[in-house]
Amino acid sequence: MPIEVLHGSLEERILRYLLEAYPVTTAMLARDLRIPRPRLDRQLKALALRGIVELEDLTDKTFVRLLRQDFSFFGYKDSQRKRFKQSGGNRKTSKDVEGPMFG
């Protein structure tokens, strides 16, 4: 059964990076994804608890290894989300409103 990952989340960004690059250290992930190190460490620990990644601590580096590759990304893409926000219709302004004073 595939693991469901929300599209556009930090989890998705990490997993897509790990699918493309190997070997990867936590320092490389933080630098390339521009994520603060404590936030990245929390997310990696959560992924490790779910059995998705494995953290290998060496003396000077921590390597991240992807254990599973069966992901299902779901949710709206950013381009779709923007389109839905913009399709609210035309709002009437005070210039468009006709009333007794504008006769």
For residue 71, the model assigns a pLDDT of 75
For residue 4, the model assigns a pLDDT of 79
Residue 81 lies in a domain: no
Q: Which region, left, alpha or beta, applies to residue 93 given φ > 0 means left and ψ of -120 to 50 means alpha?
A: beta
Measure the CA–CA gap between 48 and 61, rounded to whole angstroms. 17
Residue 26 lies in a domain: yes
> Domain of 46?
3-72
For residue 9, the model assigns a pLDDT of 86
Residue 22 lies in a domain: yes
Residue 78 lies in a domain: no
Residue 84 lies in a domain: no
**CATH code assigned at 20:** 1.10.10.10
Domain count, the chain: 1
Residue 103 lies in a domain: no
For residue 93, the model assigns a pLDDT of 61
Cβ neighbors of 46 (< 8 A, separation 6 or more) are 11
Query: Which segments in the chain show pLDDT lower than 50?
Result: none
Residue 100 lies in a domain: no
For residue 95, the model assigns a pLDDT of 62
Residue 35 lies in a domain: yes
